[in-house]
Amino acid sequence: MIAVAIMAIISAIALPTYQNYIQSTYFNQAVLDAKACTLAVERFYTNNFTYVGSGSACNAASPVDGEQQYVIAVVSAAATTYAVTATPVSGSCSGDCVRIALDGTQTVY
């Protein structure tokens, strides 16, 4: 009976910690995928001298392999500026979204 109680306590602590770890991993992967998207957008600008239409240069899913957790999108694309965002497929942003601007500033919101 004591062993069952100990296992219940350990699993009550371990499961939420594991879930937070997985969510953090997905978020960090989305940040990396958004940065890779900014590189693709810059390559697009090098070839076309505008950021308009550069959204097609990015992979819209994060992670690239497996179940999609985040949507990567080019927003505010104009001739001389852009921003890339990573937002969760489900749920709200509350600290789980990132926006990377042309100047490299990264905002978590």
Domain spans in the chain, listed from the N-terminal domain onward: 2-108
According to the model, what pLDDT value does residue 12 have? 86
- C-alpha distances in angstroms, 77 versus 45, 46, 48, 90, 104? 11, 15, 13, 24, 15
* Mean confidence (pLDDT) of the chain: 93
What is the model's pTM? 0.85
Residue where the block lists tokens 């950021």: 51
Amino acid at the residue 9: I
Q: What is the mean pLDDT of each run of 10 residues along the chain (109 residues)?
A: 87 89 96 96 96 92 94 94 96 92 95
First to last CA, the chain: 46
Inter-residue contact 76 to 82 (CB < 8 Å): yes
Closest CA to 42 of 77, 86, 87: 77
According to the model, what pLDDT value does residue 15 have? 86
Pairwise CA distance, residues 14 & 23, whole Å: 14
